[in-house]
Amino acid sequence: MVFGISALVSLVNAYGYPAIFVVGFLSSFTLFIPSPAFFVVFLFGATLNPVALGVIAGAGAALGETTGYIAGYGISKLAKNQRKKLAEIRKLIHKYSPEVVIFLFAATPLPFDFVGIFCGTINFDRKKFFVATLLGKIVKFIFIAYAGFYGLHWVLNYAGPD
């Protein structure tokens, strides 16, 4: 992992919600390299407002996911001889509600970096990509924060001091 969980927990302890945005951003900024943002959101879900936590972490993560889109866009500029094929793919993709697919990938633990790169490569509308990603990441992080809110209390009560 690129960013250690203890460093991220210390960051959130020191700065609160703004640090959660940074944690969300860092979790999605790197391509194909995992980070412990899920654990941090889960842990702080027990002490911070789970909805606010999910919205802020989701916003940071959505902004971080633009790196994949930008990488894909760069690939499309390098593949000048493939523009006709990319246009055909773009036309085909638009038939099947791509915003829903982007949302579903963002809202689940599926590998989202590929989606961002693909959308950038076919020059999918940036605003639609960002909005679908934002909504999906918010849903995912709210779910994780509530899992921490209810789950961590349950584990601590179950394991309790003997």
Sign of CA dihedral 136, 141, 142, 143: positive
CB 154 within 8 A of CB 119: no
CB 43 within 8 A of CB 148: yes
CA distance 99 to 115: 11
What is residue 161's predicted lDDT score, i.e. its pLDDT? 61
Three-class DSSP category at 31: coil
Q: Residue for token digits 């250690």? A: 4
CB 76 within 8 A of CB 117: no
> What's the predicted TM-score (pTM) here?
0.85
Q: What is the mean pLDDT of residues 97-104?
A: 92
Percent of the chain with pLDDT over 90: 52
What is residue 1's predicted lDDT score, i.e. its pLDDT? 47
CA distance 23 to 40: 8
Number of domains in the chain: 1
Three-class DSSP category at 35: coil
- Structural domain for 78, as ranges: 5-159
pLDDT band at 154 (very low <50, low <70, confident <90, very high): confident
H or E segment to which residue 151 belongs: helix 126-159
pLDDT band at 160 (very low <50, low <70, confident <90, very high): low
Looking at every residue in the chain, the average pLDDT score rounds to 87
CA distance 26 to 36: 10
